[in-house]
Amino acid sequence: MIWNWQKSDWRKFSYESSKLQHFEDDFLRYCGEVVGALKHLNTDEKNELRVTLLRDEAIQTSKIEGEYLDRDSIQSSIRRHFGLQVTNENKALKEQGISDLLVDVYQNFEKPLSHDLLRQWQRKLFSSAPGSGEYRTHEEPMQVVSGAIYAPTVHFEAPPSAQVHDELEAFILWYNTAHEEKSISPLILAGISHLWFECIHPFEDGNGRVGRALAEKSLSQSLGQPSLISLSSVIEKKKSAYYEALEKANKGNEITKWLEYFLPTMIEAQQYSLKKIDFIIQKGKLLNQHQKQLNERQLKVVLRMFREGVEGFKGGLSAKNYMSITQISQPTATRDLRDLVEKGVFKKTGELRHTRYWLNI
């Protein structure tokens, strides 16, 4: 197998612009919607939005790599970075590391790309590991493989370790020049940046997380403000399509197919953020209208449901859930739930043991 970095046109990525323009148009239109929606959020709601999006990104970019992190620990770490009140001290290194990386991307997106920056990001992820923050040096090939040990399938092989520094040098120069000259449209620039970095695969571990953070940095840098998207939340839902697109792109340097995958994925991430903004707006409206009418138990459950986010409780809230959260009897739970439906706070679906409740937003 000859990989893209072994071909004569390596580093000269080509693509059919005419097939991609409509993605750029859609993205810019949604950017306007995001800006308009943000005007409806107060300071506390804007803080909630950025913490929520960064928290979700931290969870999902780690999940793509098979790591399942604690949501509350990540949220505490992110809130602390922004000087917001926290309810518990986070001492989990993995949660702290990915939070540090993503907050750095959010706050310092305008910084030029450099070797030091990439190393710092990887070091944040693996602060306690030997050799963290250093490029790989081993002589054996860096490969992505699957299957049995005696008959492995090689999905990708990166350039030899001895070439990593020079490969990154060329990539960093291209990236910074493209951003200075604004010679490439924002989505395409982010898409090439992610692919090129993944092809180099400079670290022993963490390349995926650093590469996705790099795509978000690139987009924010092009826009001149934090992009407010959660790219990994969308990628994780269709993880196999992501890896399949990367694998196909690793075999050549005509990358239209890769961009036809990656650009709509970023737009979907943008729409995900719009849903989050609308959810926060609807939450504010519902609480402003009903909060003073709810008893302590009801308010506790409503806030708990909001905490689950746009998707809410999987399968809806049951009376049993309500009893578990509030530690009350079934008759009291039934009265509370009936009252919440009558007030228009909850919507009810199903009957008898299949009855479920949903926030009325």
Spatial separation of the C-alpha atoms in residues 224 and 207, rounded to whole Å: 25
Spatial separation of the C-alpha atoms in residues 262 and 239, rounded to whole Å: 12
Cα dihedral 301/303/309/315 (nearest 10): 10
**Rounded to 5 degrees, what are φ and ψ at 42?**
-85, 180
First to last CA, the chain: 53
Spatial separation of the C-alpha atoms in residues 216 and 269, rounded to whole Å: 11
Residues in contact with 313: Cβ distance below 8 Å, sequence separation at least 6, in sequence order: 305, 321
pLDDT for position 314: 84
pLDDT for position 43: 94
Sorted by where each starts, the structural domains of the chain and their CATH numbers stand as 4-279 (1.10.3290.10), 294-359 (1.10.10.10)
The two tokens of residue 349 are 């679906």
Q: Hunting for tokens 């199903």 — which residue is that?
A: 350
In this structure, are residues 41 and 195 in contact, taking their beta carbons and an 8 Å threshold?
no
pLDDT for position 328: 96
In this structure, are residues 164 and 205 in contact, taking their beta carbons and an 8 Å threshold?
no
Spatial separation of the C-alpha atoms in residues 55 and 65, rounded to whole Å: 16
Spatial separation of the C-alpha atoms in residues 67 and 209, rounded to whole Å: 11
In this structure, are residues 81 and 193 in contact, taking their beta carbons and an 8 Å threshold?
no
Spatial separation of the C-alpha atoms in residues 294 and 19, rounded to whole Å: 53
Secondary structure of 99-157 in HEC code, one letter for each residue = HHHHHHHHHCCCCCCCHHHHHHHHHHHCCCCCCCCCCCCCCCCCEEEECCCCCCEEEEE
CB atoms closer than 10 angstroms to residue 77 = 26
Residues of the chain where predicted confidence (pLDDT) is lower than 70: 88-91
pLDDT for position 330: 95
- Radius of gyration of the chain from its Cα atoms, rounded to whole angstroms: 23
CB atoms closer than 10 angstroms to residue 276 = 22
pLDDT for position 226: 93
In this structure, are residues 74 and 57 in contact, taking their beta carbons and an 8 Å threshold?
no
**Rounded to 5 degrees, what are φ and ψ at 229?**
-125, 155
In this structure, are residues 38 and 185 in contact, taking their beta carbons and an 8 Å threshold?
no
